[in-house]
Amino acid sequence: MAETGTDIGAPAVLDRDGLDALVRALAARGRTVIGPTVRDGAVVLAEIDSGDRLPYGWGVELAAGRYRLRRRTDGAAFAHSAGPQSWKTYLHPERVRQWSADRAPDGGLTVTAGEGEGAARPSFAFIGVRPCDLRAIAVQDRVLAGGRHPDGVYRARRERAFIVAVECTEPGETCFCVSMGSGPAAENGYDLALTELTTADGGGDTDGRGDGEHRFLVRVGSEEGAAVLEEVAHRPADRPTAAAARDRVTEASRRMGRAMPPVDLRRLMGDSLDSAHWDDIAERCLSCGNCTLVCPTCFCTTTEDVTDLTGDHAERWRRWDSCFDLDFSFMHGGPVRSSVRSRHRQWMTHKLATWYDQFGSSGCVGCGRCVVWCPVGIDITEEAAEFHARARDAAGGRDGPGGDGRTGGGVPAAAAHRTDGGLP
Amino acid sequence: MPLPYRVVRRRAETADTASFVLEPLDEALPPFRPGQFAMLYAFGVGDIPVSVSGILPHRHRLMHTVRAVGAVSTALCELGPGDTVGVRGPFGTVWDTSRAAGGDVLVIAGGIGLAPLRPLVYEVFRAPHRFRRVHVLIGARTPGDLVYRDETAVWAAAGPGGTALTVDRPDAGWAGDVGLVTGLLGHARFDPPGTTAYVCGPEVMIRATARELVHRGLRPERVLVSLERTMRCGTGHCGHCQLGPLLLCRDGAVLGYDRAAPLLATREL
Ligand SMILES: Cc1cc2nc3c(=O)[nH]c(=O)nc-3n(C[C@H](O)[C@H](O)[C@H](O)COP(=O)(O)OP(=O)(O)OC[C@H]3O[C@@H](n4cnc5c(N)ncnc54)[C@H](O)[C@@H]3O)c2cc1C
Ligand code: SF4
Ligand code: SF4
Ligand code: FES
């Protein structure tokens, strides 16, 4: 697992065969290699045994409530933005058996560990982790492994995960990582970081376009990253390639589809708890929980206890839960958050504000998934803008709460890096 | 993972509430402190947060008092000596007495809210000279809902502090006070700015009591309350116990009213 924020060693260049060799080298090290691949009309994450399974030549078309694949002529492998899944599928799986218990005839009780506390621990290699998702992993590190009681399942999977990040050169229409300070460049938290250059990208000089080959700039972020790179054919990075890669990422940062309002979102949300706009959102929101399911940082779970037919063997399962579920806040006497208004408020204020209080960072990394996969197209950036507009109106046209001109992420980028820098 | 504990004693408290003394079968959990809670696992049914109502150094024993209100609490209440439960913990914050030393202490309980306060009462009673005056004020809906009646009778008669009880609805045999627990504050002598209050009970009772105490001049951060939200993990991972910026299993359940008041004032937070 990458622990360093600075690259070690000199950057290198891989061609398409080199990328394929990288996938095979990671598999040969006994890792389960997970990467993006096309299935059922979407770019999904799946186990891949070869680089050929990557979505070469596929892009996506995104809008609020809409996701479509689209063919690309440049053959790019990573020119699609976030799909319906995120890496939490593997690091914080949807269902886990935490422990099982056996009751003896004399009333005795034996408890046996499930996954995470002794049992089989998968060792993953993730190919194509976006900067927003790198940040999401860092956020989940703090939530699940950073406190007084680290989660065994998460920690075991996370510590053994090898991360190949891919910088973002083709942001989607729903992306806003720039305003959350989480992309499009990969700055830390990876073993290897790739930047894809296609035949459309030239040698880095302004008029050199169109004569480049399909290749990947590789930066090394850990010792294991360096060792793996040694196992595949590569060449040292030439200056034009390095410059072209940098230009592509800088360009991408100017082409974000969306942005959060440039205010302190934490304060904006904190000051908007009683806003009438929550009623407006509640009229549209179906409380289906899709947004929490696709969000790469949403971590909430519930428990299920089951017994077998003998009644003497019981299992404790943990599964993903959603704060949109009415039962989520159930107490003796009824749910605390019975209205959709209060449940949507819980979700959005948690993502953008109270997450700071609980875990020291924003809970939103600007990946845009919740915007895309909301069946009624509710867009967190638009709702935040509306809260901001209302706060500004209430303040008589002045900038309103938090209107101090800072970025939407609420923390300067440098501070955000410090707080989210990997597994503590 | 829970550790197996055996029920060594069961005492019925009210029609729907019982106390249990638990002893580790083998390995013991780290020591609990007053105000903290355990996740008690009823075999095959589930686990729920239950405050520690007694901390017994002998054989690492713990006491818990459970009111049967649903699936897990009912399953726990039905256990008897010899049965086993799974216990995880200790979780949560404590009833801190370090800053209360030298001043007056008010312990105010509503119904089963006395359970989490019971170990605090004994901690205070063991060293009464650390404090100026100590009052334990206990309220319940009816006399039948009062817990630890034998003990509270002893506290009232011979305890180092003043212990007073009241009920909302008296029955034929009740000769004591009638009315809300806040009504007992009139009889208690304390110097508000130097007083620390420990309050637990239903949320409405906590709100009313804390408001009254602040109104009488206590500093909000010296009014400590214990709040309840649904809890699944106790370890800060499941998200269920959120109350605005707080994870109550980690930042609570005991917290100052200065932090709790604005959160309790927002509906459906
Ligand atoms: C920190 C803390 C300390 C507690 N201490 C005690 C105690 O000492 N004695 C005692 O009898 N009870 C205590 N409770 C309340 C107790 O946890 C609930 O009565 C219990 O969760 C109800 O679960 P159930 O399965 O029996 O009920 P059901 O109604 O079947 O509950 C279903 C689920 O709802 C949730 N739930 C229901 N009621 C509550 C509630 N009041 N608080 C939190 N979650 C709830 C639980 O997650 C439960 O699993 C405490 C709660 C908290 C948060
Ligand atoms: S809240 Fe939406 S945009 Fe932010 S990280 Fe979650 S899914 Fe992505
Ligand atoms: S915001 Fe959209 S995705 Fe989220 S719960 Fe409401 S309808 Fe479902
Ligand atoms: S009980 Fe799970 S986070 Fe607090």
Inter-chain touch B242–A350, beta carbons under 8 Å: yes
Q: Is the dihedral of CA A91, A92, A95, A99 positive or negative?
A: positive
Question: Residue B199: CB partners within 8 Å, gap ≥ 6?
Answer: B108, B109, B113, B206, B209, B210, B213, B223, B224, B225, B226, B257
Rounded-to-integer distance, Cα A191 and Cα A22, Å:
12
A287 close to ligand 3 (CB < 6 Angstrom): yes
Sign of the CA dihedral with A370 first, then A376, A380, and A381 last:
positive
Residue of B nearest to A335 (CA): B268
A350 touching B, CB under 8 A? yes
Q: A331 with A307: CB under 8 angstroms? A: no
Using alpha carbons only, give the angle A55, A141, A174 rounded to the nearest 5 degrees.
Answer: 45
> Which chain B residues are Cβ-neighbours of A311 within 8 angstroms?
44
**Residue in chain B nearest A143 by alpha carbon:** B237
Give the up-direction half-sphere exposure of residue A178: CA atoms within 13 A in the CB hemisphere.
20
Token duo for residue A262:
């440039």
The whole-number pLDDT of residue A114 equals: 86
For residue B39, give how far its alpha carbon lies from the nearest alpha carbon of chain A (Å): 13
Tokens of B207: 């709100």
- Enumerate the residues of chain A whose CB falls inside 8 A of the CB of residue B240: 300, 302, 321, 328-329
- Partner residue facing B245 (CB), from A113, A144, A354: A354
ipTM for the whole complex: 0.94
**CA distance to partner chain B, nearest, from residue A27 (Å):** 32
- Which atom belonging to ligand 1 lies closest to the Cα atom of B52? 8
Q: What is the pLDDT of residue A119?
A: 54
Q: Which of B232, B237, B245 sits opposite A151 (nearest CB)?
A: B237
Average pLDDT score over chain B: 96
How many CB pairs (< 8 A) connect A and B? 121
Nearest CA to ligand 1 atom 24: B70
pLDDT tens, position by position, for chain B (269 residues)? 999 999 999 999 999 999 999 999 999 999 999 999 999 999 999 999 999 999 998 999 999 999 999 999 999 999 999 999 999 999 999 999 999 999 999 999 999 999 999 999 999 999 999 999 999 999 999 999 999 999 999 999 988 889 999 999 999 999 999 999 999 999 899 999 999 999 999 999 999 999 999 999 999 999 999 999 999 999 999 999 999 999 999 999 999 999 999 999 999 99
pTM reported for the whole predicted model: 0.92
- Partners of residue A101 in chain B, C-beta under 8 Å: 2, 41, 43-44, 86
Mutant choice from B237, B246, B250, B263 vs A, greatest count of A C-beta within 10 A:
B237
* Amino acid (one-letter) located at A10: A
8 A C-beta contact, residue A75 and residue A198: yes
Contact across the interface for A301 and B233, Cβ inside 8 Å? yes
Nearest CA to ligand 3 atom 2: A374
Q: Both ends of chain A: CA-CA distance in Å?
A: 12
What is the tens place of the pLDDT at every residue in B150-182? 999 999 998 888 999 999 999 999 999 999 999
> pLDDT at position A107, please?
80
Of A103, A109, A342, the CB nearest to B268: A342
Inform me whether the C-beta atom of residue A309 falls under 8 Å from chain B C-beta atoms: no
Mean pLDDT of successive 10-residue stretches along chain A, which has 424 residues: 63 95 96 96 95 95 95 94 94 95 90 72 94 98 96 94 97 96 94 92 48 88 96 94 95 95 96 97 98 98 94 95 97 92 98 98 98 97 98 82 47 35 32
